[in-house]
Chains A and B, each alone.
Chain A
Amino acid sequence: MREMTLSELSRLDAAASEADEAFQMDEDAFRLFYERTARPVWAYLARMTGDARQADDLLQEAYYRLLRAKAPYDSDAHRRNYLFRIATNLVHDIRRRPRVDAVPMSDEMEHADPRQTDAAGHAARRVDLSRAMAQLKPRERELLWLAYAQGSSHQEIAATLRLKTSSIKALLFRARQRLAAVLRERES
């Protein structure tokens, strides 16, 4: 293959500059938004995939897609919901082609700090929850996490999961019952 000419290089350089401008927020705005959202998004990804390493990869991908998205945002909350929607889509994609080098959450993240007074009980409860969540359907996991861990409203959940707002209450109720039943089974 022949070498690139100067005109081609300058054209490509211009394209690279355009790429910088293609982001839908500047670096300072991104930093602020990232500081507020990165940890909850990582927690969501980790709990939905059950794999810490996958959560690391998907976090980067989710922010990249957000930056490149052309969607107009009314507010920071809207942007946040959109980020969670991207994260949800990424988790669905991953589920279709699971990784072979997955790192289960229990190996890395479930160990409690031994300095905590009720560390053992706390860790045991979290391991139970983690295993119970893994037994739920993906949609149930997402609903429960968004509603009870994130504190998202039914409207926000509907927007994130692309469901009807009117159906969230019933779906959430069923998911909650299912989680409670799985936890009871584990206890007994």
Chain B
Amino acid sequence: MSQERLGHIACPREQEIVDLVVSGRWSDDDDLRAHAAECAACGETLELARLLKDDHKALCEKAPVPSAGAVWWRATIRARAEATRTAGQPITLLQGIAAATAVGLFVGLAGAWWRSIGSGDVWLERVDELVSRSVSVPAAVSLSLLLVLAACLIVAPIAVYLATADEP
């Protein structure tokens, strides 16, 4: 690019030049060609537009693009994998809740059983006493806690069954 053709001031006809170069009709317009030979900004625009357009054309010709079918197929596979993963999330969540409920239930039952058989160990009695004192909750609250626990005892097996059972 020659120094004397530095395009320091924008020309209103630059876009016309770009449009003609891009559409491949540059050689059709003698008037604009004459203008570009005189106008520094348009001359620079013309040179760069030609250079970039040639490069674009060459790259497009050699572009190693896969077939539309291959791109579609890969997209389908990926969308299915993503949908499967998304659909699997609630199931995993439900399994987690069921497992946590089962563990809580087991611990609760084990504790109740331990109390019912009445341990003779002194240290366990002390722990029991300590827990009883620290958890000095009002009767209404303890009643609602008992109701929630009972509800869990009924709902948890049903939830586990629904999460794991096969449909007929």
Q: Select A64's contact among B19, B75, B84, B166, beta carbons within 8 Å.
A: B75
CB-CB < 8 A to B7: which residues of A?
176-177, 180
**In contact, A183 and B1 (Cβ under 8 angstroms):** yes
Given A34-B71, A148-B48, A151-B22, are A177 and B8 neighbors across the interface (CB < 8 Å)?
yes
CA distance A3 to B99 in the complex (A): 16
Is A35 in contact with chain B by the CB < 8 A criterion? yes
Which of A9-17, A71-79, A93-101 faces chain B?
A9-17
Q: Are B48's CB and A144's CB within 8 A?
A: yes
Interface residues of B in 71-110 (CB under 8 A from A): 71-72, 74-76, 78-80, 82-84, 86-88, 91
Check B21 for interface membership: any CB of A closer than 8 A. yes
Residues of A within 8 A of B60 (CB): 39-40, 42-43
- Give the residue of A7, A8, A147, A184 whose beta carbon is less than 8 angstroms from that of B1: A184
A20 to B44, alpha carbons, bound, how many Å? 49
Q: Distance in Å from the Cβ of B89 to the closest Cβ of chain A?
A: 10
A64: chain B residues at CB < 8 Å are: 74-75, 78-79
Q: Which residue of the partner chain, among B19, B72, B84, contacts A151 with CB atoms under 8 Å?
A: B19
The residue in chain B whose Cβ has the minimal distance to the Cβ of A170 is B10
Q: Mark each residue of chain B from 52 to 84: 1 if its CB lies under 8 Å from any CB of chain A, else 0.
A: 111110111011111011011011101110111
Report whether B87 and A11 are in contact in the complex, using a CB–CB cutoff of 8 Å: yes
- Using known A-B contacts A43-B60, A180-B7, determine if residue A16 contacts B80 with beta carbons closer than 8 Å: yes
Residues of A within 8 A of B19 (CB): 151
Residues from chain A with a CB closer than 8 A to the CB of B59 are 39, 42-43, 46-47, 109
Min distance, Cβ A65 to any Cβ of chain B, angstroms: 10
- B63 touching A19 by the CB < 8 A rule? no
B167 contacts A7, CB within 8 Å?
yes
Please indicate the chain B residues that have their CB under 8 angstroms from the CB of A43 in the complex: 56, 59-60, 63
Asked if A122 contacts B54 (CB within 8 A), the reply is yes
* Interface residue? A92 (CB, 8 A): no
**Which residues of A have CB within 8 Å of B76?**
19-20, 23
> Once the chains bind, are B1 and A180 in contact (CB under 8 Å)?
yes
Q: Residue A107 at the B interface, CB < 8 A?
A: no
CB of B159 within 8 A of chain A? no
Query: Restricting to A147-182, which residues have a CB under 8 Å from any CB of B?
Result: 147-151, 169, 173, 176-177, 179-180
B62 engages A176 (CB within 8 Å)? no
Asked if B71 contacts A63 (CB within 8 A), the reply is yes
Binding site for A on B (CB under 8 A): 1, 3, 6-8, 10, 18-19, 21-23, 44-45, 47-49, 51-56, 58-60, 62-66, 68-69, 71-72, 74-76, 78-80, 82-84, 86-88, 91, 164-167
* 7 A–B contacts from the bound complex (CB under 8 Å): A5-B166, A31-B68, A38-B63, A42-B65, A47-B59, A63-B71, A122-B54
Apart from A11-B91, A15-B84: 11 A-B pairs, beta carbons within 8 A:
A14-B87, A16-B84, A19-B84, A34-B72, A47-B59, A59-B71, A67-B75, A67-B79, A150-B22, A176-B7, A180-B44
